[in-house]
């Protein structure tokens, strides 16, 4: 245990301990995931839990939520040692959790999900869905988001179901609220509303565990930080007394300098574009025109629901195109299906890894090979030797934490699952890469590597279209940024024109960009 002791003298008196975890051990089929982890949480504080992908954050919190039972150690809630045998027991102790993985019922509506197992009752003790809708609407409007609570969750976008999960947890009146990467699928506006809500909860004395990979968030909302690495807590302290570099160092295990800073690259925009999209029409899009030049990384910035995902889907043949023209290398292409798009040299890292990215019940190996079954077969016969070799290479290259290529993908941590979605496409040698939130849930170390990877790919002459709600990342690698709103491109900024993240916020809010370079 290398937990640092920090100087507490300058802090306000700490609130009572809401939760204490002592010496928690946990192993899955013999593999150690948590080793002697201590963790404490005070009422009225936001405790940021950080660490690399697979460090054990979610597992630790699932123990507190009663999903898993620890092999050793103590769980103390409100001063009492408790056995949390199931999520309902934990809930009875006032613990609620926003799960990292999809934990809604896709066939039920947002309102029904929010009040699942706690439905408002009518006069005869029957469940009152209308009341549920009313309350859900109030919660959503409280959160400042516009989601129709009568829509089924399967119809919601990734960001919307994330917000629904949050609404569900908020509606529970918990004393301890665990948020496992609540913002992974959210863009700036929703993130700031969430922070507003978190402050409100804090003020009411609710204890919050906040798991995230976004550094800026930690220092914005976190009172305390605990960093985990390889199943141990390696750093714990007050946020204000820690420096961002220290935290990163403890997460990654080495110093990282300037990984998320823009590296200027020369892009020749004078020649013919690699990808030329003219007046593209599709459901949710109106007349999108854009170009990507060889070697260029084009960022797409927009708020939730602005149509970025729709654009990616239309280009990749998932969404039916109703008009316009796509030209690749001066050749008109029509992508009626992903199969055709792939044949034409497109690749898409989709937004939702669970639904679009992975066959969760299949192994890591099977998922990695899925887009290129053709490459590893001779005369229709799969050659598993080279396939496995290739999978191992990818696992190494992206530092995917898994017991091996034959582990079921479902059992990997969220960030490691995301890396697989990205890795799937590396072997395909595409001309145009469309990346829709490629680093959602990926830890800071890997994020830097992925950004490096994107640069390398662009350097090799590929065109990259990058969708990201995390402006830091967007600005770290984009050579040009397109602004999207309401299904259309509403602006274009060269990277040089953007000095800081606020400029982008500003631009998206409809304001003009301050040209700092002038």
Partner 1 sequence: MTTLPNAAAPRRSILANWRSYVVYVGFALVFLFFSIFLRDAGFLSSNNLLNIVRQTATISVMAVAMTFVIASGEIDLSIGSVAGLSSVVAALAIPHVGPVGGAVAGLLAGAAIGVINGSLVTGLGIPSFLVTLGMLGIANGVAQWITATAPVPILNDAFNNFFGSGDLGPVPSLFLWTLIALGVGHFLLRRTSFGRSVLAVGGNATAARYSGINVARTKLMVLVASGTVAGLAGMLYAGRLNSGRFQWGQGDELSVIAAVILGGTPLFGGAGTVFGAVLGALMIGLINNGLILMGLEYSQQLIIRGVIIILAVALARRK
Ligand X SMILES: Nc1ncnc2c1ncn2[C@@H]1O[C@H](COP(=O)(O)OP(=O)(O)OP(=O)(O)O)[C@@H](O)[C@H]1O
Report the interface residues with Mg ion, using CB under 5 A. 58, 100, 309, 351, 413-414
**DSSP code string of 219-282:** HHH-SEEEEEETTEEEEEEEGGG--HHHHHHHHHSS---STTS--------SS--SEEEEEEEE
Residue 101 binding partner per list partner 1, Mg ion, ligand X, none, with a CB distance cut-off of 5 to 8 Å that depends on partner kind: partner 1
Judged by CB, which is closer to Mg ion: 179, or 248?
A: 179
Judged by CB, which is closer to partner 1: 373, or 494?
A: 373
- 92, 41 contact by CB (below 8 A): no
Residue 51 binding partner per list partner 1, Mg ion, ligand X, none, with a CB distance cut-off of 5 to 8 Å that depends on partner kind: ligand X
Residue 244 binding partner per list Mg ion, partner 1, ligand X, none, with a CB distance cut-off of 5 to 8 Å that depends on partner kind: none
Q: Is 160 in the site for partner 1 (CB under 8 A)?
A: no
For partner 1, which residue of 370, 393, 506, 514 counts as binding (CB under 8 A)? 370
Q: Which of 55, 80, 64 is nearest to 24 (CA)?
A: 64
- 437, 468 contact by CB (below 8 A): yes
Q: Is 237 in the site for ligand X (CB under 6 A)?
A: no
Residue 342 binding partner per list partner 1, Mg ion, ligand X, none, with a CB distance cut-off of 5 to 8 Å that depends on partner kind: partner 1
Q: Is 33 in the site for ligand X (CB under 6 A)?
A: yes
Judged by CB, which is closer to Mg ion: 212, or 309?
A: 309
Instruction: Please name the helix (run of DSSP H) or strand (run of DSSP E) that holds residue 508, with its range, or none.
Output: helix 501-508
For ligand X, which residue of 47, 57, 135, 175 counts as binding (CB under 6 A)? 57
Judged by CB, which is closer to partner 1: 273, or 357?
A: 357
Q: Is 31 in the site for partner 1 (CB under 8 A)?
A: no
Q: Which of 36, 37, 47 is nearest to 176 (CA)?
A: 47
CB 305 → Mg ion: shortest distance, Å?
8
Which stretch in 173-181, 274-282, 344-352, 491-499 sits in contact with partner 1 by CB under 8 A? 344-352
DSSP assignment letter at 408: B
**DSSP code string of 169-231:** HHTT--SEEEEESTTTT--HHHHHHHHHHHHHHHHTT-EEEEE-S-HHHHHHH-SEEEEEETT
For partner 1, which residue of 2, 4, 69, 88 counts as binding (CB under 8 A)? 88
Residue 67 binding partner per list partner 1, ligand X, Mg ion, none, with a CB distance cut-off of 5 to 8 Å that depends on partner kind: partner 1
Judged by CB, which is closer to partner 1: 204, or 336?
A: 336
For partner 1, which residue of 11, 31, 138, 355 counts as binding (CB under 8 A)? 355
Question: Judging by DSSP bridges, how do beta strands 381-382 and 377-378 pair with one another?
Answer: antiparallel
- 413, 53 contact by CB (below 8 A): yes
Judged by CB, which is closer to Mg ion: 14, or 305?
A: 305
Q: Which of 369, 364, 467, 349 is nearest to 413 (CA)?
A: 364
Q: Is 95 in the site for ligand X (CB under 6 A)?
A: no
For ligand X, which residue of 65, 372, 413, 446 counts as binding (CB under 6 A)? 413
Distance CA 23, CA 292 (A): 53
Distance CA 59, CA 27 (A): 10
**DSSP code string of 325-363:** EEEETTEEE--SSHHHHHHTTEEEE-S-IIIII--TTSB
For partner 1, which residue of 377, 472, 485, 490 counts as binding (CB under 8 A)? 377
Judged by CB, which is closer to ligand X: 351, or 470?
A: 351
Residue 7 binding partner per list Mg ion, partner 1, ligand X, none, with a CB distance cut-off of 5 to 8 Å that depends on partner kind: none
Q: Is 110 in the site for partner 1 (CB under 8 A)?
A: no
Residue 471 binding partner per list partner 1, ligand X, Mg ion, none, with a CB distance cut-off of 5 to 8 Å that depends on partner kind: none
For ligand X, which residue of 24, 39, 43, 58 counts as binding (CB under 6 A)? 58
Other Cβ atoms within 10 Å of 512 Cβ, number: 9
| Residue the block writes with tokens 């995917």 | 400
Contacts of residues 292-295 at CB distance under 8 Å and 24 or more positions apart, as own/partner, are 292/432, 292/463, 292/464, 292/465, 293/267, 293/268, 293/269, 293/463, 294/268, 294/461, 294/462, 294/463, 295/265, 295/267, 295/268, 295/458, 295/459, 295/460, 295/461, 295/462, 295/463
Judged by CB, which is closer to partner 1: 117, or 331?
A: 117
For ligand X, which residue of 414, 438, 445, 463 counts as binding (CB under 6 A)? 414
Strand order in the sheet with 72-77: 31-42, 17-28, 72-77, 80-81
CB 373 → partner 1: shortest distance, Å?
4
Question: Judging by DSSP bridges, how do beta strands 488-494 and 480-485 pair with one another?
Answer: antiparallel
Residue 97 tokens, joined? 């959790």
Residue 302 binding partner per list ligand X, partner 1, Mg ion, none, with a CB distance cut-off of 5 to 8 Å that depends on partner kind: ligand X
Binding site for partner 1 (CB under 8 A): 65, 67, 86-88, 91, 97, 99, 101-108, 112, 116-117, 119, 122, 126-127, 152, 154-155, 316, 318-319, 337-339, 341-343, 348, 350, 352, 354-362, 366, 369-371, 373-374, 377, 380-382, 408, 410-411, 424
Binding site for ligand X (CB under 6 A): 28, 33, 51, 53-59, 100, 155, 157-159, 302, 304-310, 313, 351, 401, 411-416, 441, 443
């Amino acid at each position: 245990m290398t937990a640092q002791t920090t100087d507490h003298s300058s802090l306000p008196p700490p609130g009572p301990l809401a939760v204490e975890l002592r010496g928690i051990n946990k192993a899955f089929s013999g593999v150690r995931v948590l080793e002697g982890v201590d963790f404490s949480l005070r009422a009225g504080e936001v405790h940021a839990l950080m660490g690399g992908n697979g460090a054990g954050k979610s597992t630790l919190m699932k123990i507190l939520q009663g999903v898993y039972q620890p092999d050793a150690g103590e769980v103390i809630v409100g001063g009492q040692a408790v056995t949390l045998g199931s999520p309902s027991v934990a809930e009875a102790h006032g613990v609620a959790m926003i799960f990292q993985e999809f934990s809604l019922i896709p066939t039920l509506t947002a309102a029904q999900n929010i009040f699942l197992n706690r439905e408002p009752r009518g006069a005869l003790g029957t469940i009152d869905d209308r009341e549920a809708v009313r309350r859900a609407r109030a919660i959503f409007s409280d959160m400042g988001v516009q989601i129709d609570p009568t829509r089924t969750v399967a119809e919601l976008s990734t960001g919307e179901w994330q917000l629904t999960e949050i609404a569900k947890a908020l509606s529970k009146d918990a004393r301890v609220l665990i948020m496992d990467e609540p913002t992974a699928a959210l863009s700036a506006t929703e993130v700031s509303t969430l922070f507003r809500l978190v402050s409100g909860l804090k003020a009411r004395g609710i204890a919050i565990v906040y798991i995230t990979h976004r550094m800026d968030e930690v220092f914005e909302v976190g009172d305390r930080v605990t960093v985990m690495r390889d199943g141990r807590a390696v750093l714990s302290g007050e946020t204000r007394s820690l420096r961002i570099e220290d935290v990163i160092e403890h997460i990654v295990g080495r110093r990282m300098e300037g990984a998320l800073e823009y590296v200027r690259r020369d892009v020749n925009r004078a020649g013919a574009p690699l990808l030329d999209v003219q007046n593209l029409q599709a459901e949710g899009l109106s007349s999108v025109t854009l170009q990507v030049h060889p070697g260029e990384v084009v960022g797409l910035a927009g708020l939730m629901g602005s149509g970025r995902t729709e654009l990616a889907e239309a280009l990749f043949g998932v969404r039916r195109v109703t008009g316009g023209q796509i030209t690749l290398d001066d050749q008109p292409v029509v992508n009626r299906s992903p199969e055709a798009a792939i044949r034409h040299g497109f690749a898409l890292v989709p937004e939702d890894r669970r639904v679009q990215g992975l066959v969760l019940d299949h192994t890591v190996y099977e998922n990695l090979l899925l887009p290129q079954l053709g490459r590893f077969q001779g005369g229709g016969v799969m050659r598993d030797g080279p396939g496995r070799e290739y999978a191992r290479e990818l696992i190494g290259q992206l530092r995917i934490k898994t017991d091996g290529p034959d582990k079921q993908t479902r059992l990997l941590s969220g960030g490691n699952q995301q890396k697989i979605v990205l890795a799937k496409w590396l072997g395909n040698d595409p001309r145009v890469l469309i990346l829709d939130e490629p680093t959602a849930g990926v830890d800071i170390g890997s994020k830097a590597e992925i950004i490096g990877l994107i640069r390398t790919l662009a350097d090799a002459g590929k065109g990259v279209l990058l969708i990201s709600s995390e402006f830091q990342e967007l600005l770290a690698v984009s050579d040009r940024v397109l602004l999207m709103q309401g299904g259309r491109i509403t602006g274009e900024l060269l990277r040089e024109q953007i000095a800081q993240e606020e400029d982008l916020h500003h631009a998206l809010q409809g304001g003009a960009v301050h040209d700092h370079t002038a």
